Amino acid sequence: MSDRYTRVRYSHSGERFEILVDPDKGLLYKRGDLTDISNVLMVDTIFTDANKGEKASGTKLEEAFGTADPLEVAEIMFEKGTLQLTAQQRKEMTEQKLKQIISIISRTYVDPSTKLPHPPLRIENAMTEAKVSIDAFADAEEQLKDIVDALRPILPMRMETIEIAVKIPAEYSSKSYGIAKNLGDIKRDEWAVDGSWIAVISISAAMQGELLDRLGKATQGNLQTKIMK
């Protein structure tokens, strides 16, 4: 398929429909970053077979989509059909999704023997060995369970949560609160008489190091911490 255009395919009651679209604009539209369908289509034509130039009849369009308007049909096809990616798009999207998934695993799971997160390269090698398939369009979180299940025989991992108590001087509390909320779950907090912020933060054990490092930098080392459990 030419990289100058790609297509969206949709099947209904045994009938196949195709539209030709600009590859980059088509992807932007699919993601919701572009809203004008007319700027996406290469031609305002609905095909049954674009390679042969066979056009869908108005009757078939009415039966399948409830309208014969090509722009309305194209919108429905994008919503319900499949956008064919170019080889380069698929490669880039798959690589991006792979990095997201590896990051989530590294931030969420630990090696039971060391209670430390697995390095990203080790996770990636295990995914290759397990022949894990990445869906470029599906959300990374949605794919996580199946991927983790596939990795467990190769890469022991456990989701472990700990609670960390912190006491932070008032002048650093605002920034520290944002860091804690972003990386973990603030179970309870209060303000001391001297204005210090005291909190108990629940966080993945894999994220303990990053939390303490970022809080340390934000407070210039002026904090007290204690691992609760």
Residue-wise pLDDT for 113-163, tens only, equals 988 889 999 999 999 999 999 998 888 888 998 999 999 999 999 988 899
Evaluate if residue 3 carries a pLDDT over 70.
no
CATH fold of 87-158 reads: Arc Repressor Mutant, subunit A (1.10.10)
pLDDT of 2 > 60? The answer is no
pLDDT at 40 over 90: yes
Q: Are 106 and 124 in contact (CB under 8 A)?
A: no
Residues of the chain with CATH 1.10.10.900: 87-158
CATH 3.30.70.240-classified regions of the chain: 161-227
Q: Supply the mean pLDDT for the chain.
A: 93
**Of the options 3.90.1150.10, 3.40.50.2300, 3.30.1250.10, 2.40.110.10, the CATH number for the domain spanning 6-83:** 3.30.1250.10
Dihedral angle at the C-alpha atoms of 93, 94, 95, 101, nearest 10 degrees? 110
State both tokens at 148. Answer: 């983790």
Residues of the chain with CATH 3.30.1250.10: 6-83
Q: Is the pTM of this model over 0.75?
A: no
The per-residue pLDDT for 4 is: 87
**DSSP designation for 160:** -
Largest distance between two CA atoms of the chain: 79
* Whole-angstrom distance, CA of residue 170 vs CA of residue 193: 10
CATH no., domain 161-227: 3.30.70.240
